[in-house]
A and B are shown apart, each in its own frame.
Chain A
Amino acid sequence: MNARTHPIEAIAAWLLALLWLAPLAYAFWSSLHPAAYATSFSLSAPWTLENYVRAWNQAPFGRYYINTVILVVLILIGQLVLSTLAAYAFTRFKFKGSGIAFALVLLQLMIMPDVLIVENYRIIGKLGLLDTIPAIALPYLASAFAIFLLRQTFKSIPQELVEAARVEGAGPLQILWRVYVPLARPTYVAFALVSVSYHWNNFLWPLIVTNSVGSRPLTVGLAVFGAPETGVDWSIITAATVMTMAPLLIAFLLFQRQFVQSFMRAGIR
C-alpha cells in the first residue's frame, strides 16, 4: 500500500477507467435512443425503450433466455454432482490406478472440449442429440477443473471431523454429504460463478450443435439476429446485445467481490 499517489496518476487511472467503460456506455446509450441518433451523438436526443421492444418482437429472445437458463443450470448441476463424487473418490479412497485416473482427468485442463469440436459434433450426431440443449451441455458435464478444485478443498478438510462422523456410524456417502460438502461451500460458490459466466457466454460449440429456435442459447440467437444480411437497425442490435449481457452484468455488479475472487481462483488453479 502506498499512501502517495500523484494527482496526475490518479487522473490517468480515472481516464483509463472511463475509456474502459466507454464501449459499454455507448452500447447502453445507443440502445436507449432512436435509430437516427445511433451515429450522431446529441445530448438532446430523446430517450426510448422502443429498440428493446422491437428486438424482443423481431426475434424469440424470450425463448433464447429460457434456453440459456436451462443450459447453464443443467451444466452447473451436472458438474457439481459429478465432480463432487469424483473428487471424493480421489480424496477418500486409496486404490490402484488412482494416479493414472487423476492424470487422465487433468488432461481435460489442457485439451478442453472447445477445441475438439469436429469429433464431438460427430459423437453428438451419433447419439441423435443434434440441435438439443443436452447436446450443448454434454461435453462440459464432467469438468476436470471442478474435480481438481474440489479435490484440493477436500484434502484440506481436517481428518478429525471425518473420524468423528465415522465414529457416529456415518457411511461414506453420509460423510461426503454431512462433512465434505458443507465445508467446501466457498469452493462451490467460486466454481459456480465461473461456470455460469463461462456457459452463459459460450458461443462456438452452441453455434455448431444448434440449428433452431428451440435449442439456441442467447449468444447464438444474438449472432443470428445481428448478422449483417438481416438488415436490422443498429440500435435494435445494440438493444439485443444489452439484453444478452444484462443478467450477467447485473449479477456481477451485485456480487463484485465474489466474482473477482472466483475468477482469480479459476485462473490460478
Chain B
Amino acid sequence: MTGRSETLPATSRKPRSQAWWNAVNAWLLLLPAAVLLAAFTHYPILATIRQSLYFTKRNGTEVFVGLDNYRAMAADPIFWKALINNFWFALGTIPTSIALALLMALWVNRNIRGRGFLRLAYFTPTVLPMIAVANIWLFFYTPDYGLLDQLRGLFGLAGWNWLGEPSTVMGCLIVMVIWKEAGFFMIFYLAALQQLSPDLDEAAAVEGASRWYTFRRITFPLLMPTTLFVAINAVINSFKLVDHLVIMTKGGPSNASTLLLYYIYEVAFTFQDAVYAATLTVVLLVLLSTLALLKFGYLDRRIHYQ
C-alpha cells in the first residue's frame, strides 16, 4: 500500500494529466454503481429525514413543522409498544440462539458420529425463506388442530390460541426465530473453533482440567470476539426480521407482536401516512447506524490486534 505510488510521478512525464486521467477512469467505472447507490440509498435517507420535518396538507403542499412529527411519535403508544417489542424480541432470540449455536459448533467440531449430518440439520433452517418457515410454524400454533394443541390434548388440556393471545404470541415467534437463526450463528463459532490451537485442549487435559473447566476458562474466553461479533450482527438483524409478521400475526393481537419495521410498513402502506412512516424510519436509521458504528469500531480494534 505504501511507497509504490510515490515512485510513479517521478518516472511519469506528465504527472498532472496522469492523475486526471486516473480520476476520469475511476469515476467512469464507479458511475453505474454510484448512480444506483445515490438513487436508492443516499437520496432516500436524506428524503426520509426531510420528510419527517414536514407536514403534507390535503392539497399536497408541504409545510415545515420542525419536530412536530417527532412529538406526535413520542405520544403514540403503538410506536413505544413496537420499540419495546423489538427489545424483547432481541432479548428473547439472541442469547438463546447464541448459546445453542455455540453448543452446536462444539458438537460438530468434535469427532462425533455423523457430524456431517448434524451440521446439515442445524444449518438447514438458515437457507429457508422466512415466509415458508412462518407458514410451517403457523400450523404448529393453530388453535385446536395445530401440533402444539394436539400435544396439549394428550394431557387432557384444552386448546389455546397461541398467536391470538398477547401473553403467548411473542414467545411463539421467538421460538421460531431461534430455530431459524441458531444454525447460522453456529458457522461463525465453527470457523473460530477451527482456528483455535488443539494444543490448548491437550495441555488442559494433561493438567487434569475437566472438560467444563477447559470450556469455561479457555475456550469460551477465546471465543469472546466471535460472541461479540455474532451478538452485534444478531441485534442488527433483529430489526430487519419482520416477514413472518405479515402472515402470522399482522403485528397483533392488539400490537402485542408488532416490531418497528413492521409498524413502518403498516403506517406507510395500510394507513397511507408517508410522513409518519418517514418519522418512524428515522428512528430505525438512527438505531441501525449506532449499531453499525459499534460494529465497525469493534472490528477496527480486532484488526489492530492482528
Contacts and interface: CB of A to CB of B under 8 A. Distances in A.
Q: Tell me if chain B binds chain A.
A: yes
5 closest A-B pairs by CB: A110-B292, A119-B44, A17-B121, A201-B129, A142-B36
17 contacts: A1-B198, A2-B211, A30-B139, A39-B146, A90-B30, A92-B26, A101-B30, A108-B41, A110-B292, A111-B292, A115-B284, A118-B268, A119-B47, A142-B33, A204-B261, A207-B246, A249-B127
Contact of A95 (B19, B35, B135, B179): B19
Interface stretch (B65-73, B81-89, B166-174, B180-188): B180-188
Contact of A86 (B33, B108, B110, B127): B33
Given A113-B40, A203-B246, A259-B127, A20 B121 contact: yes
Nearest to B276: A118
Interface in A74-109: 81-83, 85-86, 88-90, 92-96, 98, 101, 104-105, 107-109
B85 to A, nearest CB: 17
B37 A5 contact: no
Interface string A1-37: 1111100011001101110110110110010000000
A7 B107 CA distance: 12
A204 B242 contact: yes
B145 interface: yes
A20 B183 contact: yes
A114 B243 CA distance: 11
A121 interface: yes
Interface of B: 4-5, 19, 22-23, 25-27, 29-30, 32-37, 39-45, 47-48, 51, 100, 103-104, 107-114, 117-133, 135-137, 139-140, 145-147, 150, 179, 183-184, 187-188, 191, 198, 201, 211, 229, 233, 239-240, 242-243, 246-247, 261, 264-265, 268-269, 274, 277-278, 281, 284-285, 288-289, 292-293
Interface of A: 1-5, 9-10, 13-14, 16-18, 20-21, 23-24, 26-27, 30, 38-39, 81-83, 85-86, 88-90, 92-96, 98, 101, 104-105, 107-123, 138-139, 141-142, 144, 147, 159, 172, 197, 200-201, 203-204, 207-208, 218-219, 222-223, 226-227, 234, 237-238, 241, 244-245, 248-249, 252-253, 256, 259-260, 263-264, 267-268
B274 A122 contact: yes
Contacts of A238: 135-136, 139
In the complex, which of the residues B120, B264, B277 has the most CB atoms of chain A within 10 Å of its own CB atom? Answer: B120
Given A115-B240, A118-B48, A200-B129, A267 B233 contact: yes
Contacts of A118: 48, 264, 268, 274, 277-278, 281
B126 A263 contact: yes
Given A13-B107, A110-B289, A268-B229, 15 more contacts: A16-B103, A17-B122, A23-B140, A104-B37, A112-B240, A119-B47, A122-B47, A142-B36, A159-B4, A219-B129, A219-B131, A256-B120, A259-B123, A267-B184, A268-B188
A93 B35 CA distance: 19
Nearest to A140: B40
A89 to B, nearest CB: 4
A138 B36 contact: yes
Contacts of A138: 36, 39-40
Contact of B33 (A1, A83, A113, A114): A83
A39 to B, nearest CB: 5
A82 B34 CA distance: 9
B114 A86 contact: no
A201 B111 contact: no
Contacts of B135: 222, 226, 237-238, 241
A111 B121 contact: no
A240 B183 CA distance: 24
A79 to B, nearest CB: 9
B124 A249 contact: yes
A39 B145 contact: yes
